[in-house]
């Protein structure tokens, strides 16, 4: 069983202490990616619910810790785990019992779990937990609470620090001195004492604002805190907490009310300034490691770099998706930004160029309700190779390999600039890939504004030399006049396709290449042309399917199925009435059955017999997708459970049924989550082990998480929940790429202190210091810089060499 498609951007990723690895929360696991290759190294498996936050243990000393990669992870299952993620091994489990939404460990530097000496302190964590069972107080639902937890002894240390409506994300300053949360229109900040960490000792500082705050960040060294609000403003409080935190437990000092620009009421800060550029809720704020800049990001997909002293700003545009999180690494030349389209871009820092992108499966396209029933965006699926073609928000198609769990390529379908702020008015509504993957068609729709404009166009693509590479063959504007395309189907084994439309007709398209003589040259012209147009009583055509040998074309005319000879455009037969308008048709292998389902109030699933034009069996089920094999008689059905049945189990709103078409009793059944908008597909198993030509069933749920399994092996009623996972794509040890300082200046010679001391010779510095002689002289007589530069740099190099020789 292969599971994949988890979102990479549910929580902020974290860099390892050397900046070579990136720890990303992917569902119940933590994936460790290499920052040099962007490939998956390993996964930490153990949590049973979504992992929400990670804390990497920083390295205190430099000796002997080269391979220590330790981290803490917290999950919604109420557990905090301690891992060695280089091996990966689970070292310690702490049960908090409440779902942890966020946690930070302020004194992680001074206290380390591995140390055996008694002198080290206990390890305390601030945890933000959700307590759903908490009773209502004063008409307020305070589900979230901030607590302190002793990780060393696995006990709760003291009471609740703060209570919030929903669990908040904790922020911590780099030194571990301050911990803060946003609480609606105010910030709560605690100063962490160096010892004797108890909740009673904690003093809370509040900073107020007039709008709901969305995020906050602490300055690495100074008493500066920045917060963003939902309207896109950034507030910067300088010198907060001087009075409150300085005096321990004393009474209120008199606050000097004058000369505190921008500070509200009795807030404890020197000044507060406001910057405004973003037009929507600020998603992240982050101070740069050199303390001079502040990064902010929001829905526009632009990272704004604010100069902290002046408020001047520069921009990093063209990220092309709403931003979520920004994480900096211990390596000052590397950081990463998480985007809403399930991508993490690794940035080379001062210039903010994208070095690598770690991309997961794209999230589903969410359309406004303008389209009503037609808002179903379909995704294409190539059975032979096992990849899906997903329409994305930025007018592209992502080809995603289900077997490998990797992004293959992107294809720009609509040539339009994508602006994340715009509402979706132009989108890809249908993607259909032929069975062998050699042809693809896309339908794109431009929605009209107040009845003006609007365009539907159909594009045919031909596969290029490698998978996922397609070239545009033909564009057909308004394939069915003004009406929308309801379905597309490719004829197996022939360059033929059919498109059905809501305006009551369907068209058969053929690809014929022709020679056109122009002057002295022969021009090869190929393209998809309409071969025939047909309609049945002007009834809207809703679905189409070709039989396995391509000789019969079935087109659903609302409740009836019409069978056609696609070559001669002759109506062969009509199979009568399902209960509601048919949404999808599928021929069952090479058998004489055709399957259809309809949606709406009279939803049903029907298997028709073509030979005697009658119903074979039917169910009254709300079906989301069906899928048939080309050779066998197995069919898989994804059904939605109606709301009344939901009591079966929490969160499971659908089921996957596998039938043998002769028999209405399902062969096997599984319950699944988030089935709305899900897809099923049989794909060929190419994964070396256990092949024997068996087909795998792929189930992609509404959030584009997917699972691949062999329907004959996985036990019935078993949950489709990950057990084994993807194979790592690379190993950490093949990376010998240097970072940071070493990447610029090369490896430093290993400097052995003791040896240098023992030897009598003092490191010899050449008495001739060329950089002094080079630059001496009057300035107008200096040789040009190009001549000066190389001897100067050479002189530096020589010195280093001599030193290394001497030290050895």
Partner 1 sequence: MMADEATRRVFPTEPASHLRPRSRSVKSLVSTPESSFWRTFRSSTLHPSYLHLPITSLSFSPNSSLLAAASSTSVRVFSSLSLSEYDPDFDPTLFATLPLPDLAYSPSFRCDGALIAAGCENGAVRVFDLPNDKPPKTLRRLNAHSCASRVVGFPLLDHKLRLFSAGDDALFVQWDLPTETPLFSVPGAHRDYIRAGSPSPVSPDVFVTGSYDHTVKIWDARVDSGASSVLSINHGHPVESVLFLPSGGLVATAGGNTIKIWDVIAGGKPVYSVETHNKTVTALTLAKVRDDTRLLSVSIDGYLKSFDFSRFKITHSMRYPAPLLSVAFSPTGTIRVVGTNNGAMYMGIKKKKDEFEDQVGSDDFAWSVPLPEKPTSRKNIRYFKRGQSEKPSEGDFIIKRPEKVKLKEHDRLLRKFLHKDALVSVLKTQQTTSIMAVLEELVARRKLIKCISNLDNDELKLLLSFISKKATQPWCARFLMDLAKWVLEIRAEDIRSGGPEMAVHVRNLRSMVAHEIQVQRSLQEIQGMISPLLVIAGK
Task: List contacts with partner 1 (CB under 8 A).
Answer: 38-39, 318, 320, 345, 353-359, 406-407, 410, 412, 415-417, 422-423, 425-426, 446, 448-455, 457, 475, 477-478, 482, 516-523, 525
Nearer to partner 1, 309 or 515 (CB): 515
The number of residues in the chain equals 808
Q: The tokens of 305 are what? A: 């770099």
Counting Cα atoms < 13 Å in the Cβ hemisphere of 614 gives 2
| 138/417 with CB nearer partner 1 | 417
Q: Which is nearer to partner 1, 52 or 359 (CB)?
A: 359
Dihedral angle, C-alpha 493, 494, 495, 499, nearest 10 °: -90
Q: How far is the CB of 736 from partner 1 (least distance, A)?
A: 20
The CA distance from 103 to 126, in Å, is: 5
Q: Residue 34 CB, nearest distance to partner 1 (Å)?
A: 11
Q: From the CA atom positions of the chain, what is the Rg in Å?
A: 32
Helix (H, G, I), strand (E, B) or coil at 755: helix
* DSSP β-bridge partners for residue 127: 103, 147
- 593-609 in b/e form (b: 16+ CB < 10 A) is bbbbbbbeeebbbbbbb
DSSP string, 765-808: PPS--HHHHHH-S-GGGPPPHHHHHHHHHHHHHHHHHHHHHHH-
**CB closer to partner 1 out of 406 and 591:** 406
Query: Between 17 and 345, whose beta carbon lies closer to partner 1?
Result: 345
Integer distance in angstroms from the first to the last C-alpha of the chain? 56
CA distances for 99 relative to 230, 433, 581, angstroms: 26, 42, 44
Using the minimum distance from each CB to partner 1, give the nearer residue, 60 or 355.
355
Residues 568, 571: Cα–Cα separation, whole Å:
9
DSSP state, 756? Answer: H
Alpha carbon distance 46, 66 (integer Å): 25
Question: Would you say 127 or 349 has its CB closer to partner 1?
Answer: 349
320 or 711: CB nearest partner 1: 320
For partner 1, the closer CB: 355 or 687: 355
* Minimum distance, C-beta of residue 35 to partner 1, in the bound complex (Å): 13
**Closest approach of partner 1 to the CB of residue 170, in Å:** 32
CB of 403 to partner 1, least distance (A): 16
Q: Report the alpha-carbon distance of residue 496 to residue 188 in Å, rounded.
A: 65
Q: Quick one: CA dihedral 491, 496, 499, 500, positive or negative? A: negative
Count how many Cα atoms sit within 13 Å of the Cα of residue 312 in the half-sphere of its side chain: 4
Spatial separation of the C-alpha atoms in residues 616 and 723, rounded to whole Å: 38
Q: What is the C-alpha separation between 621 and 727, in angstroms, rounded?
A: 37
Minimum Å distance from CB 72 to partner 1? 29
**Interstrand relation of 439-446 and 171-172 (parallel, antiparallel or unpaired):** unpaired
Q: What's the closest the beta carbon of residue 382 comes to partner 1, in angstroms?
A: 19
Distance CA 579, CA 361 (A): 36
CB of 169 to partner 1, least distance (A): 29
Alpha-carbon distance 550 to 530, whole Å? 17
Q: Answer yes or no: are the C-beta atoms of 389 and 398 closer than 8 Å.
A: yes
Residue 450 Cβ, how far from partner 1 at the closest point, in Å?
A: 6
CB of 350 to partner 1, least distance (A): 16
What span, in angstroms and rounded, lies between the C-alpha atoms of 155 and 170?
20
- Please report how close the Cβ of residue 219 comes to partner 1 at its closest, in angstroms: 30
Closest distance of CB 229 from partner 1, Å: 23
* Residue with Cβ nearer partner 1 (190 or 295): 295
Q: Which is nearer to partner 1, 248 or 521 (CB)?
A: 521
From CA 443, how far away is CA 461, in angstroms rounded? 11
> Closer CB to partner 1, residue 211 or residue 410?
410
* Nearer to partner 1 among residue 438 and residue 469 (C-beta): 469
Instruction: Write out the DSSP string of 638-675.
Output: EEEPPGGGGGGSTTEEEEEEEEETT-SS-SEEEEEE--
Can you tell me whether residue 385 is helix, strand or coil? coil
Minimum Å gap between C-beta 731 and partner 1 is 17
């Amino acid at each position: 069983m292969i599971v994949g498609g988890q979102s990479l951007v549910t929580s902020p990723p974290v860099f390892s202490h050397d900046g070579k690895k990136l720890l990303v929360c992917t569902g119940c696991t933590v994936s460790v990616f290499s920052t040099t290759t962007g490939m998956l190294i390993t996964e930490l498996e153990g949590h049973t619910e979504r992992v929400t936050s990670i804390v990497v243990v920083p390295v205190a000393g430099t000796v002997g810790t080269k391979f220590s990669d330790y981290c803490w992870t917290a999950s919604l299952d109420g557990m905090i785990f301690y891992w060695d993620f280089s091996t990966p091994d689970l070292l310690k489990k702490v049960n908090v019992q409440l779902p942890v939404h966020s946690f930070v460990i302020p004194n992680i530097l001074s206290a380390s779990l591995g140390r055996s000496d008694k002198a080290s302190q206990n390890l305390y964590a601030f945890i933000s937990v959700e307590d759903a069972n908490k009773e209502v107080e004063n008409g307020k639902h305070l589900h979230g609470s901030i607590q302190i937890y002793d990780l060393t002894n696995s006990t709760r240390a003291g009471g609740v620090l703060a209570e919030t409506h929903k669990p908040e994300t904790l922020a911590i300053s780099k030194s571990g001195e301050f911990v803060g949360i946003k609480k609606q229109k105010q910030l709560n900040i605690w100063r962490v004492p160096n010892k004797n960490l108890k909740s009673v000792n904690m003093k809370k500082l509040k900073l107020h604002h007039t709008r709901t705050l969305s995020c906050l960040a602490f300055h690495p060294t100074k008493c500066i805190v920045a917060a963003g609000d939902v309207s896109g403003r950034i507030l910067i409080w300088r010198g907060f907490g001087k009075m409150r935190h300085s005096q321990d437990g004393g009474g209120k000092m008199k606050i000097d009310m004058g000369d505190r620009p921008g500070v509200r009421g009795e807030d404890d800060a020197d000044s507060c300034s406001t910057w405004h550029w973003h037009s929507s809720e600020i998603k992240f704020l982050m101070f740069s490691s050199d303390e001079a800049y502040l990064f902010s990001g929001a829905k526009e997909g632009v990272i704004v770099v604010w100069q902290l002293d002046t408020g001047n700003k520069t921009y990093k545009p063209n990220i092309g998706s709403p931003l979520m999180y920004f994480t900096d690494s211990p390596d000052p030349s590397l950081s990463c930004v998480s985007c809403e389209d399930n991508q993490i871009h690794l940035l080379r820092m001062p210039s903010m160029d994208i070095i690598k992108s770690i991309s997961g499966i794209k999230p589903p396209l969410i359309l406004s309700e303008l389209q009503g029933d037609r808002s179903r965006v379909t995704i294409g699926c190539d059975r032979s190779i096992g990849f899906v073609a997903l329409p994305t928000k930025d007018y592209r198609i992502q080809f995603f390999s289900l077997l490998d769990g990797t992004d293959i390529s992107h294809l720009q379908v609509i040539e339009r600039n994508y602006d994340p702020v715009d509402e979706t008015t132009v989108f890809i509504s249908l993607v259909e890939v032929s069975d062998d993957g050699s042809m693809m068609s896309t339908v794109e729709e431009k929605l009209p504004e107040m009845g003006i404009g609007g365009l539907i166009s159909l594009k045919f693509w031909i596969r290029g030399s490698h998978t996922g590479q397609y070239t545009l063959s033909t564009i057909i504007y308004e394939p069915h006049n003004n009406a929308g395309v309801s379905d597309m189907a490719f004829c197996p084994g022939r360059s033929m396709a059919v498109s059905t439309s809501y305006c009551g007709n369907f068209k058969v398209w053929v690809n014929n290449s022709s020679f056109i003589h122009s002057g002295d040259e022969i021009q090869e012209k190929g393209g998809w042309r309409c071969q025939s147009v047909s309609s049945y009583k002007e009834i809207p055509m809703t679905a189409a399917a070709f039989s396995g040998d391509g000789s019969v074309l079935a087109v659903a005319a609302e409740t009836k199925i019409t069978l056609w000879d696609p070559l001669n455009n002759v109506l062969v037969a009509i199979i009568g009435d399902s209960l509601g308008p048919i949404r999808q048709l599928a021929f069952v292998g090479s058998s004489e059955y055709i399957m259809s389902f309809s949606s709406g109030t009279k939803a049903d699933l029907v298997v028709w017999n073509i030979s005697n034009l009658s119903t074979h069996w039917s169910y009254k089920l709300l079906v989301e997708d069906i899928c048939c094999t080309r050779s066998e008689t197995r069919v898989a059905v994804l059904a939605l459970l109606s709301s009344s049945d939901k009591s079966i189990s929490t969160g499971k709103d659908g089921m996957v049924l596998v039938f043998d078409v002769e028999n209405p009793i399902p062969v096997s059944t599984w319950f699944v989550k988030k089935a709305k908008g899900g897809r099923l597909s049989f794909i060929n198993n190419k994964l070396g082990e256990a092949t024997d030509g068996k087909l795998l069933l792929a189930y992609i749920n509404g959030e584009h998480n997917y699972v691949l399994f062999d329907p004959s092996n996985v036990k019935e009623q078993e949950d489709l929940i990950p057990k084994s996972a993807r194979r790592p794509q690379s190993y950490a040890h093949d990376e010998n790429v240097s970072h940071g300082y070493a990447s610029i200046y090369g490896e430093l010679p290993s400097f052995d202190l003791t040896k240098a001391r023992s030897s009598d010779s003092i490191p010899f510095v050449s008495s001739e210091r060329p950089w002094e002689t080079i630059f001496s002289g009057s300035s107008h007589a200096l040789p040009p810089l190009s001549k000066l530069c190389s001897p100067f740099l050479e002189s530096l190099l020589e010195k280093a060499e001599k030193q290394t020789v001497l030290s050895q």
